[in-house]
C-alpha cells in the first residue's frame, strides 16, 4: 500500500487525547463552468470509491476505547466541522499494532472543501498509541 504525503491524515501520529489528525486534505475550490451562473456542486462520495486506510502502528494503553470520525469543513480551522462518518468505539484490547479501522470509503454527502479525521478517546487519556491514516489507491488486508 502506498501513501502520498498530500493524501495523508496521520503519519504515525501519537493519539494520547481526543484530537484532530495532524493533516487535512484540501479538495480545492469548486469551479464554475464557462457560461454557467453557479459553481458546480461537490459530493466526494459519488462516483468512484475512495478508500481510506486507518491503522494502529503502536498499541494503545490506558484508554477505554477510541472512535475515528471523518469530518469536513469550509475552512482550515474546522470551526464548524461536519462529521460525515464515525466508527463504533473500539475497545483498547483490540487497539494493538496492525488493527485496521472499518472505514472503507469516503461517504456520500462529503461536500465541503477540507477533510480531516478526528480521534475521540474514551476513559483515561492514552499513554501510548499511534495511528497511520490516509487516502490510498486500495487498502491492504494484511497487518501494517
Q: Please give the pLDDT value at position 110.
A: 79
Domain ranges of the chain: 5-135
Each residue's pLDDT, cut to its tens digit, for the chain (144 residues) gives 677 788 899 999 999 999 999 999 988 877 788 888 887 777 766 666 778 889 999 999 999 999 999 999 999 999 999 999 999 999 999 999 999 987 877 777 778 889 999 999 999 999 999 999 998 876 666 655
Question: Which fold does the domain 5-135 belong to in CATH?
Answer: Jelly Rolls (2.60.120)
Rounded distance, CA 110 to CA 129, Å?
28
> Residue 69: which of 139, 20, 123 has the closest Cα?
20
Residues in Cβ contact with 81 at an 8 Å cutoff, skipping those fewer than 6 apart: 71, 72, 73, 116, 118
Q: Please give the pLDDT value at position 143.
A: 57
Amino acid at each position: 500500500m502506498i501513501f502520498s504525503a498530500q493524501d495523508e491524515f496521520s503519519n504515525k501520529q501519537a493519539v494520547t487525547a481526543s484530537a484532530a489528525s495532524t493533516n487535512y486534505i484540501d479538495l480545492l475550490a469548486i469551479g464554475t463552468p464557462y457560461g454557467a451562473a453557479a459553481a458546480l456542486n461537490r459530493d466526494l462520495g459519488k462516483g468512484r470509491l475512495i478508500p481510506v486506510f486507518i491503522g494502529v502502528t503502536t498499541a494503545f494503553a490506558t484508554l477505554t476505547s477510541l472512535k475515528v470520525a471523518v469530518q469536513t469543513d469550509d475552512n482550515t480551522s474546522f470551526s464548524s466541522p461536519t462529521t460525515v462518518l464515525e466508527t463504533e468505539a473500539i475497545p483498547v484490547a483490540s487497539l494493538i499494532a496492525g488493527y485496521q479501522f472499518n472505514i472503507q470509503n469516503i461517504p456520500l454527502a462529503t461536500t465541503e472543501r477540507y477533510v480531516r479525521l478526528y480521534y475521540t478517546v474514551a476513559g483515561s487519556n492514552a499513554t501510548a498509541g499511534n495511528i497511520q491514516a490516509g487516502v490510498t489507491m486500495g487498502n491492504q488486508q494484511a497487518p501494517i
